Structure formats: C-alpha cells, structure tokens
C-alpha cells in the first residue's frame, strides 16, 4: 500500500482542479497563437514609424575611387594613368509630396486601431473556445458520474436476479440479461472516460497547463433573461469586428485621397557637399557644394487614373460590407438570444423527465420482485433512466454553449472573475 501511495504521490502533488476563470487566465497568459496575433499591432506601429521617417528625408555618405588610363588612341608610345577621388555627403528631403505622406500617416494610424480591434476579436473568440472546451470537460465528467450511478443500478440488478434465481422465483435468463446490461454500461464507461480524456487534453492545450486533472461546474457566461434590444445595442457599440470594419472604411477613404495626390505637384530639396580631385585631400580648389530645389508635376502617369478609380470602388465596396455587417449583427444577436432562451427552457423539462424516469424505475423494480413484470421491461426502464440522465447533462451543456455564442455575438470583452 505504501508503494502504491508513493507512486501516485507525484500525480497527486501536481494535480489541478480549475474553474473557468482560472482556465481563461492561464490561456491569456500562455497561449502562443494569441501572443503571435498581438504582434500584428507592433508591426502596424512599425509601419507608422517608417512613414514618419520620410519627413526627415535621406542622408548618406559616398566615396568613389576611379582609375583611368589613356594613350590618346595609340598615338603616343606611353600612357598616363590617373586616379580620381570623389567624396560627397548628400541630404535629400521632401518639402511637399502632394499630401501623400500626410495620408500615409493617417492610414497607418487607422491600421493600428484596426489591428487592436482585430486582436480584441481574436481574444474573445479564443475565450469562447476555452469556455466550450471547459464546459465540454464538465459534461464529460458528469456523463461518467451518471454511468457510475447506472453501474450501481445494474450491479444491484445482478445481485437481485441471482438472489431471486436461487429462490427459484426467476429463470437463469433473467440473470444473464442483467449481466448483459451491466456489461453494456461498462462499455459506455470506457467511451465516456475516453471522451473525458480527449476533452481534457484539448483544454490543457488551450491553457498551456498540462497539470489539469479536473474541472468544476458548468459556466453559463450570460443570463438568458437579458433584454434583447439592449444586447443588440451593446453589440453595435462593442463588437470588435464592426469596429475593425469601421476603421477599414476610414482607411479606404484616406487611400482615395492619397491616390489623388498624383495630381498635385511635389517639391523636394537636394543638398550635397563633397570633394572631387586626383588626390585624397581637402582643399578649397576641389571642394564643391550643390543646392537643388526640385519641382515635379505629373502631366501624364500611366495607370494613375485607373488606380484612383479602383480605390474609389474598393472604398464603396467596403462601405457596403460595413452596412451589411451592422444589419447582420442585430439578426445574429437575436438568433443567439432566442437559442439561449430555448436551451434554458429545455433544462426544466429534462429535470422533470429525469425525476419521473427514476421514480418509474423504482416502481418497476418492486413490480419485478413481485413477479408483475419481466426482466426485459425492468431493463427498458433502466435504459430510460440512463437516457434521461444523459439528456439532462446534454441540456446543461447546450445552455452553456448557447450562452457562449450569445456572449461572442454581443462582443463584450470576456474577462475572468478575480
């Protein structure tokens, strides 16, 4: 016994029973996919920094060393080799780009916001996935408990039929029938434990916690008795996908303005200071400087008109998608709300069915003992109990999943309770 305890001690030491809030907190902390998606915000900020850097222009240093040799077309017997050194520092910066940089900055800022909203949406979707996985483990656990209760019942049937058979009150087939039903429960138990292990494995994967061995009760994340109109309004205000789409609408509007910049002149400056001579030395005879003010106006650029027209079409297209999404959100919330109400109402019906099935089984067990019904009828009533227990568990799971779908539909941030 001591050896068995010592072998189980490491498992018991690190075994963890968690509730949904703990599962969610660990997922937010450990999930690598979520961390990867958050980096999209950093990349968008990098794009903004890149666009801002264009305001400062370009500065570079350059050194050219050239060697040439000439014999004047072969007329002279000897040739002369010459070296030339050219060193220069160049600074170019834009003064006016036809508002191109201005709108590029605005687009980058909008994309930062859009990526934040997209990350919020992804985070909520992951939270719902964790909630489904968690409730799946809870349901699997209750299925095992229901089968454990069924096992007690079928075992009692074996004992009862054996006793009645020894008294000559029933035939051997009654004992065999009870044993067959007991074996069926064993088979279902194997299936149930496998489903539990599979569900637990997925929850461990999402949370990054391999020590989870058990969970607590079902978690219904939103009340089925909420106000539908209020939920629809919350959805339009809070859903990150609608916010993300709204920022994309603004982005495309800015894109149209940026593409129009082709019709504005651009103004830039080129400043250069350097040295150009046969010897690498600084002196006033070989130093030079250049100041160049460049004004450019495109009278004709191939494809520019078509690109602008394409941007206008894309802007209108995404505006239509945005309007469609707003209308669709109200319907989505309504459908999820009605589904939750139906799943909630179903639970009370399933509770009643379970209680009746247990009561009927108890009555039929007494009737069997008194020889009023045969073993087939009794086992059928036991099967009804098993089915009623399973349907109640399924109903509670369905309610929890329906609540999760509604929570995702309204877009409120899903946080763990402290």
Q: How many domains is the chain built from?
A: 1
How far, in Å, CA of 173 to CA of 171, rounded?
5
- Does residue 336 form part of some domain? yes
Report, as an integer, the average pLDDT of 183-208: 96
- Does residue 278 form part of some domain? no
- Does residue 243 form part of some domain? yes
The residue whose two tokens read 């859903």 is 239
- 386: domain CATH number is 1.20.1600.10
How far, in Å, CA of 154 to CA of 27, rounded?
41
Q: What is the pLDDT of residues 289-310, one digit of tens each?
A: 888 888 887 776 777 788 888 8
- Does residue 325 form part of some domain? yes
Query: What is the reported pLDDT for 5?
Result: 44
| CA dihedral sign, ordered 33, 39, 40, 41 | positive
**Using an 8 Å Cβ cutoff, are 388 and 149 in contact?**
no
How far, in Å, CA of 141 to CA of 151, rounded?
15
What SS3 class is residue 82?
strand
Q: What is the pLDDT of residues 313-354, one digit of tens each?
A: 988 988 898 888 888 999 999 999 999 999 999 999 999 999
| Average pLDDT for the chain | 87
How far, in Å, CA of 344 to CA of 348, rounded?
8
Query: What is the reported pLDDT for 72?
Result: 52
Query: What is the reported pLDDT for 242?
Result: 86
- Does residue 131 form part of some domain? yes
b/e per residue 135-167 (b: at least 16 CB within 10 A): bbbbbbbbbbebbeebeebbeebbebbbebbee
79 vs 51, which has greater pLDDT?
51
- Does residue 257 form part of some domain? yes
383, burial (CB in 10 Å: exposed 0-12, middle 13-18, buried 19+): middle
Query: What is the reported pLDDT for 8?
Result: 46
**Using an 8 Å Cβ cutoff, are 373 and 364 in contact?**
yes
Sheet architecture: strand order including 287-296:
58-70, 80-96, 266-277, 287-296
- Does residue 64 form part of some domain? no
Residues 6+ apart with CB under 8 A from 337: 226, 228, 231, 406
Please provide the distance, in angstroms rounded to a whole number, between the alpha carbons at the two ends of the chain. 41
Cα–Cα distances in angstroms (integers) from residue 378 to residues 30, 381, 386, 406, in the given order: 51, 5, 13, 42
- Does residue 66 form part of some domain? no
Half-sphere exposure of 417 toward its Cβ, with a 13 Å CA cutoff? 4
What SS3 class is residue 78?
coil
How far, in Å, CA of 356 to CA of 349, rounded?
11
Flag whether pLDDT at 74 surpasses 90. Answer: no
Where does the pLDDT of residue 4 fall: very low under 50, low under 70, confident under 90, or very high at 90 and above?
Answer: very low
Report, as an integer, the average pLDDT of 246-265: 84
Q: What percent of the chain has pLDDT over 70?
A: 91
Q: Which domain holds residue 115?
A: 21-57+97-266+303-410
Task: Please give the backbone phi and psi of residue 328, each rounded to the nearest 5 degrees, phi first.
Answer: -70, -30
Where does the pLDDT of residue 12 fall: very low under 50, low under 70, confident under 90, or very high at 90 and above?
Answer: very low
Largest Cα–Cα separation, the chain: 137
Instruction: Write down the pTM of the prediction.
Output: 0.78
Where does the pLDDT of residue 283 fall: very low under 50, low under 70, confident under 90, or very high at 90 and above?
Answer: low
Query: What is the reported pLDDT for 282?
Result: 64
How far, in Å, CA of 78 to CA of 21, rounded?
91
Q: How many CB atoms lie within 10 A of CB 177?
A: 20
Report, as an integer, the average pLDDT of 101-106: 86
């Amino acid at each position: 016994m001591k050896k068995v305890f010592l072998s189980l001690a490491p498992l018991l030491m690190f075994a963890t029973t968690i509730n949904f809030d703990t599962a969610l907190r660990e997922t937010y902390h450990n999930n690598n996919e979520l961390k990867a998606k958050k980096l999209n915000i950093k990349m968008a900020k990098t794009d903004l920094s890149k666009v801002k850097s264009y305001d400062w222009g370009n500065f570079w240093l350059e050194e050219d060393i050239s060697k040439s040799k000439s014999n004047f077309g072969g007329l002279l017997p000897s040739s002369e080799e010459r070296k030339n050194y050219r060193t220069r520092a160049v600074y170019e910066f834009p003064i006016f780009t036809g508002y191109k940089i201005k709108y590029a900055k605005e687009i980058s800022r909008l994309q930062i916001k859009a990526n934040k909203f997209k990350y919020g949406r992804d985070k909520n979707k992951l939270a719902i996935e964790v909630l489904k996985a968690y409730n799946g483990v809870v349901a699997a656990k209750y299925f095992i408990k229901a089968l454990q209760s069924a096992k007690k019942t079928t075992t009692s049937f074996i004992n009862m039929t054996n006793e009645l058979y020894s008294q000559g009150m029933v035939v051997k087939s009654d004992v065999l029938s009870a044993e067959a039903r007991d074996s069926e429960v064993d088979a279902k138990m194997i299936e149930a434990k496998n489903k539990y292990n599979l569900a637990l494995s997925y929850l461990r994967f999402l949370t990054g916690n391999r020590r989870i061995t058990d969970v607590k009760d079902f978690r219904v994340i939103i009340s089925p008795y909420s106000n539908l109109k209020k939920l629809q309004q919350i959805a339009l205000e809070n859903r990150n996908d609608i916010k993300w789409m709204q920022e994309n609408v603004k982005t495309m509007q800015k894109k149209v303005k940026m593409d129009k910049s082709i019709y504005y002149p651009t103004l830039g400056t080129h400043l250069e200071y350097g040295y150009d001579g046969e010897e690498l030395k600084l002196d006033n005879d070989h130093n030079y400087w250049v100041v160049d003010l460049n004004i450019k106006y495109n009278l004709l650029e191939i494809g520019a008109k078509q690109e602008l027209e394409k941007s206008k079409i894309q802007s209108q297209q995404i505006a239509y998608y945005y309007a469609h999404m707003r209308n669709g959100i109200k319907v989505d919330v309504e459908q999820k709300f009605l589904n939750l109400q139906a799943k909630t109402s179903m639970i009370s019906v399933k509770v009643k069915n379970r209680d009746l099935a247990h009561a009927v089984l108890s009555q039929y067990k007494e009737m069997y003992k008194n020889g009023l019904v045969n073993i087939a009828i009794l086992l059928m009533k036991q099967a009804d109990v098993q089915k009623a227990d399973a349907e109640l568990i399924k109903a509670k799971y369905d309610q929890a999943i329906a609540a999760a779908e509604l929570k995702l539909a309204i877009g409120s941030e899903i946080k763990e309770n402290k």
